[in-house]
Amino acid sequence: MKNMTEGNVTKLIINFAIPVLLGNIFQQFYTMADTMMVGKILGVQALAAMGATSALSNLMIGLISGIAMGVTILIAQYYGAKDEEGMKTSTAGCILLCVGSTVLIVLVSMVLKSPLLTLLQTPQSIFMDADNYLSVIFLGLFITMAYNMMASMMRSIGDSKTPLYFLIIASLSNVALDYIFLVYFHMGILGAAYATVLAQGLSVVLCFFYMRKKYPMFVLKKKDFHIEKELLLHQLSMGISMGLMNSIVSIGSVVLQSAVNQLGEITIAAHTAARKIVEMLMQPMISIAIANTTFVSQNLGAKQFTRIRTGQRKCVLLCTVWVVLVIVISFTCIDALLSLLVNAKETQVMLLAKRYSRISSLFYFVLAILFIYRNGLQGLGNGRIPILSSCIEMGVKVAATFLLIPFTGYYGICFVEPIAWTIMGPFLCYFFYHDLRKKEVQNLKTE
């Protein structure tokens, strides 16, 4: 456990963010390993089939992980206020809401997956593989939710290292299972999907037994599930807010994927490879933003408003250093990174993938601002503005998709998301400080 209301702010954020970062990298390694194995062993068509599903799978996984993170924010606030009874009650609410939401999400996603693939104009040559791959990933959302819920619980009390250790074990297992299923059992891209789900299942088992032994506040009794309606609704609001924040943005990405699908298998494969690299390079910024959620939540509970402001400045500074490094990487050695996923002889795929990676990197600073202040608002308990910003971001993506891509082709795809980031970053920054000032004034009135 880590109390983030005392001590050096920069050191606390870095110490919290590094395990989260490594965990996120290994979580990305799940899909990166799948992409690498599929691209190298099965070829461009199989890589395109997997890539055609990425927007839909990311949509549902983003919804799941957002809900898990949102419903645990109250645990962090109670921890900051040193209220163990409140922690137990909010943990019970967290479990109920996560289970209920996952059942609904899985049912809806299984019913809609084929119609959505058709709507996204997935090429017939890869449609069946894409549909089968999604079936496994969607049914595995129960496991995805279980891991994200328990990892978020541990992070809410400052333990960001334990989820990392278990994720490393699961990631290594995923690589081994990928190789076995693809090379020895010849299961095609279905093998990659099964490997991902089974490996994450291992991390769930490890988290469960560790939490039972190490953290008694998470071991609940029947009476803990008698939750006040107001508290449960507040948790539900935060969970829906964070889940929708992730998924609404992803809807714009789904629309963008439909435009990519229309450009053919080569473009789909290139975009898939580039996205894997770009998502990996985003992880330090995402990890700092996740650390910021816990930092803001705990310090809000402790009424440390000046400390919250200091934390935001430190997060921006840390992300700025990373952004400069990413730009250098994108313009010097991106070929080496892409060649891990795609055969270097596929020159057209490599060319398009490099273009996307380099253009994205130039806009990472505004993306960092977006991550930091969106998560900061969630830490303050404000779920409305992040949802509104996500709706605007989705609208910008959709509008840019229809207005740019018909005239500019893949160049338009490269600029769609940076345009949305540039609009939303300053928007979220303004509302964070506006909301923080309101809470400071309210606190002064109650003293």
1 assigned to some structural domain: no
Lookup: tokens for 262 = 């229309």
Distance between CA 361 and CA 384 in Å, rounded? Answer: 29
| Angle subtended by helix axes 44-71 and 73-80, to nearest 10 | 40
| DSSP notation for 374-406 | HHHHHHTT--HHHHHHHHHHHHHHHHHHHHHHH
Q: Which of 242-246, 349-353, 388-392, 415-419 has the weakest average pLDDT?
A: 242-246
**Residue 34 reports pLDDT greater than 80:** no
- The range of the structural domain enclosing residue 229 comes to 9-441
Residue 269 has what pLDDT? 81
Cα 256 from chain centroid (whole Å): 18
pLDDT top residue among 311 and 119:
311
pLDDT grade, residue 160 (50/70/90)?
A: confident
73 assigned to some structural domain: yes
Instruction: For residue 390, give Cα distances in angstroms to 20, 247, 252, 374.
Output: 23, 8, 9, 9
Phi, psi of 223 (to 5 degrees): -65, -25
| Of 15, 24, 276, residue with least CA distance to 164 | 24
pLDDT grade, residue 406 (50/70/90)?
A: confident
Residue 232 has what pLDDT? 86
Q: What digits encode the pLDDT tens for the residues 298-308?
A: 888 788 888 99
Domain count, the chain: 1
352 assigned to some structural domain: yes
Q: What is the DSSP letter of 218?
A: G
Predicted TM-score (pTM) of the model is 0.70
Amino acid at 134: L
Task: Assess contact for 178 and 120: CB atoms under 8 A.
Answer: no
**Residue 365 reports pLDDT greater than 90:** yes
Q: What digits encode the pLDDT tens for the residues 213-244?
A: 998 888 888 888 888 888 888 888 888 877 87
pLDDT grade, residue 194 (50/70/90)?
A: very high
Planar angle of CA 50, 55, 61, nearest 5 degrees: 100
Residue 338 has what pLDDT? 85
Q: What digits encode the pLDDT tens for the residues 342-364?
A: 776 778 888 888 999 999 999 99
**Residue 204 reports pLDDT greater than 90:** yes
Instruction: For residue 429, give Cα distances in angstroms to 183, 372, 373, 389, 442.
Output: 49, 8, 5, 11, 20
Mean pLDDT of the chain: 85
CB atoms within 10 A of CB 429: 20
165 assigned to some structural domain: yes
Dihedral, CA of residue 253, residue 64, residue 393 and residue 272, to nearest 10 = -20
Distance between CA 404 and CA 420 in Å, rounded? Answer: 13
Planar angle of CA 55, 59, 62, nearest 5 degrees: 130
**Residue 249 reports pLDDT greater than 70:** no
**Residue 22 reports pLDDT greater than 90:** no
Distance between CA 209 and CA 198 in Å, rounded? Answer: 17
| Of 297, 433, 281, residue with least CA distance to 367 | 281
Mean pLDDT (whole number) for 46-67: 83
pLDDT grade, residue 247 (50/70/90)?
A: confident
Rg (CA), the chain: 21
